Every structure is written in C-alpha cells, then in structure tokens.
C-alpha cells in the first residue's frame, strides 16, 4: 500500500516537473520542501512531548525523583545504540556539517539524515537530555531540501537554496516565526546569498509556519505576551544587559567546547554515555529545571513565577529567601551550558539554540530582579527576560538578525525592537572581540582547514586542489646532459621542467634560464641538468588550503608551483587555473 502511494506521488511529481516551467516548478518545490520540513519539525515536537509526558507521569506518581533524574542516561544510551547499531557510528551533527556539504559536497546530504536526527534527538531530549531540538530540525529540513533537489537533478544553486528552504522551514515551524527562519538560513547557512534566493526561502518558511499554526497546540510553541511597553529611560540597563549576555555567550562557547573535548577523551562510547549521563543526573537532582529543553521553565520565569522552579530539588529547603532564589536561578543560567555539553558530548543529539534561550531568559530575569530589589530603578522583568534571550542567541550563533526577529515574532509584535537591536548588537560585539568565529564556524574552519570569514574565502574553499593538479610537465633526471635536456625541451609545450630522482623533486629548470646555452652545441656533453636547475621558490602540499596557495603565488611572483607530497613530485598547479575555477564558482553563486 505504502509502495503504491509512493509510486503515485512520484509519478505525479514527475508529471508536474515536465508540465511546469522551471521557475514555477522551483517555486512549487520550495512549498513542498517547506511543508515537509515543517511537518518533520512538528512530528519531532510531538514525539518529544509524548515521551516527556510519560517520563514526568512516572516521576509524579511514584515520588522517586532520584530515579526520574536517571532517565537522561536512558535517552542518551538509546540514541547512541541507534547510531552504533543502524548507522555504524557514522553520524554528523551541527550546522557546520551542512555548510561543509554546501561547500565541498555540492549541497548533497545523506538521505538518512531526513529521519536519523528526528529519532536520536527525540530520544535524547524526550528522556530529559538538557539540549535543544532546533539543530536536529535544521539538519532534517536541510536533508529534505538537498535530497529533493538531487532526485530531480536540480543545479547546485537550486539544491543549495532548497537545502536552506528546509532549514528555514524547520526553525519557522518550531517557533511559528517565518522571518526568523529565513534570517537563520541566510546568517548561519548561506554565507553568500543572492536576491533570487529570498522568494523561495520566504515561501518555504511561511509554509512551515502555517503548518505549525494549524497543527501545534499553543502550549507546545514558545510564545509570550508583553506586559509593559518599551521605556527609553531603561536604555542604560539594556546596554549593561547587552554586555552581560555577551560575556555569558563567551562563557557558553568556551565552557561547552572544553567539556565536550574532555568527555570525548573517554574512548569507550558506553563508558562515555554513563559518565556524561550520571554527571547530568547529579545536576538534575540539584537543579531540576535543567531537564529537557527547558522552554516551560522559561515561560515560568517570564510570567514571574520563578519560585516554582525549586520544586523537587534536593536543595529546596535551603532556598528560603528571595536572594537565595536568585542565586539558584543564576546557577541555572551558568550550569545550562555544562548540562548541554554533557548531553551532546556523551552521545546525545541536540543543539545550542535551546540552551542559549534558556540561559538568556534566566540571566535577564536575575539582572532585572536585582536592579529592582536594590532600588536602583524599576525595570520590567519580563521584558528583560525576553531581550536577554536575543542577546544570548546573537552571541552564541553570531546571528543578531535571527535573534532580534525571533523574539519579536514570539512576543507577537515589535514593541521591543529597539532594545532587541541594542542588546543583540552589543552582545555579538563583545563576544566577537574575544572570539572572531562562532562555535560552528570554528568547526567548519577546522574541517575546511581554512578560515571562513568572507565570501572570497568561502568560494575558494569549494575548489578541490586535486582537480587542479596538472601532470603534463616533462621531467628529467639531475645527471642528464644538456643534450638530453634539449631533446626533452623540443618535445614539450611547457617552459618548466621538474628535475626528479626516484620520483623526488630535486629542482626545476626554467626555459628562460637556459635559452642561451641550449644553442651552444659544444656544451652538450659538458653541462648537466644539476648544474642548470634551481630550487623551487615554494612548493604546495596536496592538503594545503587554496588561500595559503594563492599567498605563495603572490609572494613568489610565480604562475606555476610544484605539488609535493612527502618530497614526492605530483605535478603543478597554475594560478590561472585557480582563478578560472574561482570565476566558475562565482557565476554559480550569482
């Protein structure tokens, strides 16, 4: 039955593909990808909430909270079992992998990613793993868009746009925020985007948001109602909040990376699961709001009912004053990134989106409450809770526009636009001063073995050096005579001759340097190649980045440089071939 439905849908799509114009088919494709990715995000949300309801039911009915805190170990263990058993341990996470696929793999993602992220993240977060679902949603949507483009043999540019459409629809459906979905795709995934990409991105994001609006219940989506309008007298406090969230975002990045690296030093995957899971369980005993995504607790804080968050904590009896409550909430803000790092580092699947919003909400509330309690001023705690979320998101992802419009959309208006812009801009400025690249950008840079800061470098990183190596250079041995060299020159169309001994590059002979002597017949048996060769001014390694290679071309003022691997000659790379290939990539991106 399912196979028959699949065949009918496939034939219908092929008929539409052949009937519509390419432009109309592409617009239709963006709608299909948007709806599919939005539906995947909705399924994930419901799957997680269903698991969470079962887990919390057990904890409430049996009053054995210490057992409840062990559920994340089970969830992480099941996710790791799935990866090891069905994916053979090969599983890529994070937006860096998506951008790498765009850059190096012609925007092709494995078809398995259309469901593997849903399964592993649902198990991880549903059982209480302290991380977010947005990154798996983005990966799933991107895989849907990529594989749709591959099935219909679309061009690289079209596949890339549909990949971004899937990601945008995932974010849009998760928060019912289409503008934030589009901006996330532009800021995080598409480092170089043309105006023609915006229409399909908008259509896909709107499709995902519409589906979310129709299907998801209001309580499942993170949404808030503003209680007080923006007051310009509070601008100095928003500036301080921007600085605070900037340093907290820096703390998040460095702490997450350090813990993630340390826990991955445990070579046995199951020992790693137990280690990370048990440490997470200890944190949950002390700080129960760290359980799962934590969006419900964010709503509790924003609604000014923070005192409810101490329930089930083993240290609840010590929280007897408002000051001790603020210390408890402040600890939650700083411990969320540790909990997230333990969850993901020990094998769970999730992302930093949710933890960033969590930390921002808590630090914003604590900041505003302290200001009010000290009598310095009276500032709206709910507004500062929401604006701080944007500051953290901006600082962690280096995506200020996404942060600004996400909070604007989930609050149902643009009343806070000025403080959102102010705090997001200050936060990213602070963190960028200490860390030029975001966490995902650093991962991408390590994979590409090159910086990724600007458009030219991004385009160059798409090029494969092995495709640019030219091997039609005539070689000669160092002990060969001038007469033998003349024979080689006469049969070659090149003006550079690599001198090899057992495949090892010893030097180069340039035609311009020997032009005069090759006509002196009396020197043919007296002069040898080793007397005429010169050492190469620079050599290229096959794994070297093209940015570094172009720098060598500029420094040596050469147009051809030899490629050498472990002293063995492989061929030459010409500056002109790199520039020609770069122009081709540039035309693809227009």
Q: Of residues 38 and 107, which shows the higher confidence score? A: 38
pLDDT at 2 (0 to 100): 46
Q: What is the mean pLDDT of residues 155-176?
A: 88
Q: Is 321 exposed, middle or buried (0-12, 13-18, 19+ CB in 10 A)?
A: exposed
- In this structure, of 15-19, 167-171, 574-578, the range with the lowest mean pLDDT score is 15-19
- Between 249 and 108, the more confident residue is 249
The pLDDT value given to residue 66: 63
269-293 as b/e, with b when 16 or more CB fall inside 10 Å?
A: beebbebbbbbbbebbbbbbbbbbb
| pLDDT 10s digits, 42-54 | 999 888 888 888 8
pLDDT higher for 18 or 146? 146
Q: pLDDT band at residue 39, thresholds of 50, 70 and 90?
A: very high
From CA 98, how far away is CA 163, in angstroms rounded?
9
State the pLDDT at residue 304: 84
Rounding to the nearest 10 degrees, give the CA dihedral for residues 56, 62, 65, 70.
-70
More confident residue, 62 or 288: 288
pLDDT band at 227 (very low <50, low <70, confident <90, very high): low
- Inform me whether the pLDDT recorded for 338 exceeds 50: yes
Region 116-126: mean pLDDT is: 92
What pLDDT is attached to residue 455? 47
Find the Cα–Cα–Cα–Cα dihedral 424, 430, 434, 436, rounded to 10°.
40
Residue 424 reports pLDDT greater than 70: yes
pLDDT tens, residue by residue, 509-523: 888 888 888 888 778
The residues of the chain that CATH labels 1.10.3080.10 are 2-215, 232-449
- Residue 411 phi/psi, 5° resolution? -95, 0
Question: Would the pLDDT of 465 be above 80?
Answer: no
**Which of 146-155, 181-190, 388-397, 450-459 ranks highest by mean pLDDT?**
388-397
CATH number, domain 463-589: 3.10.580.10
> Phi-psi category of 566—alpha, beta or left, where left has phi over 0 and alpha has psi -120 to 50?
left
Give the range among 27-31, 220-224, 346-350 with minimum mean pLDDT.
220-224
**Are 390 and 424 a contacting pair, CB within 8 Å?**
yes
Instruction: Give the pLDDT score at 460.
Output: 55
The arithmetic mean of pLDDT across residues 120-136, rounded, is 90
Q: Where are the beta strands (DSSP E) in 449-541?
A: 496-501, 504-510
- Kindly tell me if the per-residue pLDDT of 588 is higher than 60: no
Residue 137 structure tokens? 């949603």
What is the percent of the chain where pLDDT is above 90?
33
- Of 161, 143, 116, 164, which is closest to residue 26 (Cα–Cα)? 161
Segment 356-369, tens digit of pLDDT: 999 999 999 999 99
Quick one: what percent of the chain has pLDDT higher than 70? 88
Contact 562, 569 (CB under 8 A): yes
pLDDT of residue 62: 45
pLDDT of residue 457: 55
Reply yes or no on whether the pLDDT at 339 is more than 90: yes
Answer yes or no: pTM beyond 0.75: yes
Cα distances (Å, whole numbers) of residue 548 to 68, 104, 541, 554: 53, 18, 10, 10
Domain boundaries for CATH 3.10.580.10 within the chain = 463-589
User: How confident is the model over 295-315, as a mean pLDDT?
Assistant: 85
Question: Which of the two residues, 371 and 26, has the higher pLDDT score?
Answer: 371
Indicate the CATH number for domain 2-215. 1.10.3080.10
Given a contact cutoff of 8 angstroms between Cβ atoms, the answer to whether 42 and 208 are in contact is no
Please tell me the CATH superfamily of domain 232-449, with its number.
Clc chloride channel (1.10.3080.10)
Q: Which among 111, 433, 396 has a CA at the least distance from the CA of 248?
A: 396
State which of 110-119, 191-200, 423-432, 541-550 shows the largest mean pLDDT: 423-432
Averaged pLDDT score across all residues of the chain: 84
Cβ neighbour number for residue 412 with a 10 Å cutoff: 11
Q: Is the pLDDT of residue 506 over 50?
A: yes
Q: What is the pLDDT of residues 166-223, one digit of tens each?
A: 999 999 988 888 899 999 888 888 766 666 778 899 999 999 988 888 887 655 566 6
Mean pLDDT of 305-327: 86
Determine contact, residues 168/181, Cβ cutoff 8 Å.
yes
Residue 530: band (very low, low, confident or very high) from pLDDT cuts 50, 70, 90: confident
For position 267, what pLDDT does the model report? 85
Q: What is the mean pLDDT of residues 378-383?
A: 91
> Could you report the per-residue pLDDT of 233-292, keeping only the tens digit for each?
899 999 999 999 999 999 999 999 999 899 989 889 999 999 999 999 999 889 989 988
- Report the alpha-carbon distance of residue 148 to residue 171 in Å, rounded: 19
């Amino acid at each position: 039955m399912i196979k028959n439905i699949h065949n009918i849908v496939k034939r219908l799509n092929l008929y539409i593909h052949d009937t519509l114009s390419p432009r109309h088919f592409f617009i239709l494709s963006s709608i299909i990808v948007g709806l599919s990715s939005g539906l995947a995000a909705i399924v994930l949300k419901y799957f997680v909430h269903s698991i969470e309801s079962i887990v919390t039911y057990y904890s409430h009915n049996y009053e054995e909270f210490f057992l409840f805190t062990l559920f994340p170990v089970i969830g992480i263990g099941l996710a790791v079992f799935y990866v090891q058993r069905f994916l053979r341990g090969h599983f890529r996470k994070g937006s860096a992998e998506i951008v790498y696929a765009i850059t190096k793999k012609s925007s092709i993602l494995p078809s398995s990613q259309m469901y593997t992220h849903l399964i592993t993240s649902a198990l991880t977060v549903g059982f209480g793993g302290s991380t977010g679902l947005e990154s798996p949603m983005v990966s799933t949507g991107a895989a849907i868009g990529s594989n749709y483009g591959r099935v219909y043999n679309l061009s690289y540019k079209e596949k890339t746009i549909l990949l971004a459409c899937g990601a945008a629809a995932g974010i849009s459906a998760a928060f019912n925020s289409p503008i934030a979905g589009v901006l996330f795709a532009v800021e995080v995934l598409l480092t170089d985007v043309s105006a023609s990409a915006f229409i399909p991105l908008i259509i896909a994001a709107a499709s995902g948001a519409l589906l979310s609006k129709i299907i998801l219940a209001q309580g499942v989506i993170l949404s808030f109602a503003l209680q007080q309008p923006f007051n310009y007298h509070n601008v100095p406090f928003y500036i301080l909040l921007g600085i605070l969230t900037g340093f907290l975002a820096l703390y998040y990045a460095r702490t997450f990376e350090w813990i993630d690296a340390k826990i991955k030093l445990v070579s046995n995957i199951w020992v790693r699961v137990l280690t990370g899971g048990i440490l997470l369980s200890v944190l949950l005993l002390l700080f129960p709001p760290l359980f799962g995504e934590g969006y419900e607790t964010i709503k509790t804080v924003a609604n000014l009912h923070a005192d409810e968050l101490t329930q089930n904590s083993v240290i609840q009896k010590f929280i007897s004053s408002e000051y001790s409550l603020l210390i408890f909430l402040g600890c939650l803000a700083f411990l969320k990134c540790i909990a997230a790092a333990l969850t993901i580092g020990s094998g769970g699947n999730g992302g930093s989106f949710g933890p960033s919003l969590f930390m921002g909400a808590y630090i914003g509330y604590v900041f505003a409450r302290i200001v009010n309690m000290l009598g310095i001023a009276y500032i709206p705690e709910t507004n500062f809770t929401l604006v701080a979320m944007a500051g953290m998101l901006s600082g962690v992802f280096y995506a200020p526009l996404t942060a600004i419009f996400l909070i604007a959309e989930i609050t149902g208006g643009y009343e806070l636009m000025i403080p959102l812009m102010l705090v997001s801009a200050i936060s990213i400025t602070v963190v960028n001063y200490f860390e030029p690249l975001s966490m995902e950008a650093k991962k991408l840079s390590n994979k590409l073995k090159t910086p990724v800061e600007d458009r030219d470098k991004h385009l160059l990183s798409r090029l494969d050096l092995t495709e640019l190596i030219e091997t039609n250079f005539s070689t000669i041995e160092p002990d060969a005579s001038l007469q033998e060299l003349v024979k080689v020159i006469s049969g070659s169309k090149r003006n550079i001759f690599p001198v090899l001994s057992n495949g090892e590059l010893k030097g180069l002979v340039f035609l311009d340097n020997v032009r005069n002597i090759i006509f002196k017949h009396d020197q043919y048996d007296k002069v040898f190649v080793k007397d005429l060769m010169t050492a190469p001014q620079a050599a290229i390694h096959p794994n070297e980045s093209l940015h570094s290679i172009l720098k060598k071309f500029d420094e040596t003022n050469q147009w051809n440089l030899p490629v050498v691997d472990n002293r063995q000659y492989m061929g030459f790379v010409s500056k002109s071939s790199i520039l020609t290939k770069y122009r081709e990539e540039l035309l693809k991106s227009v």
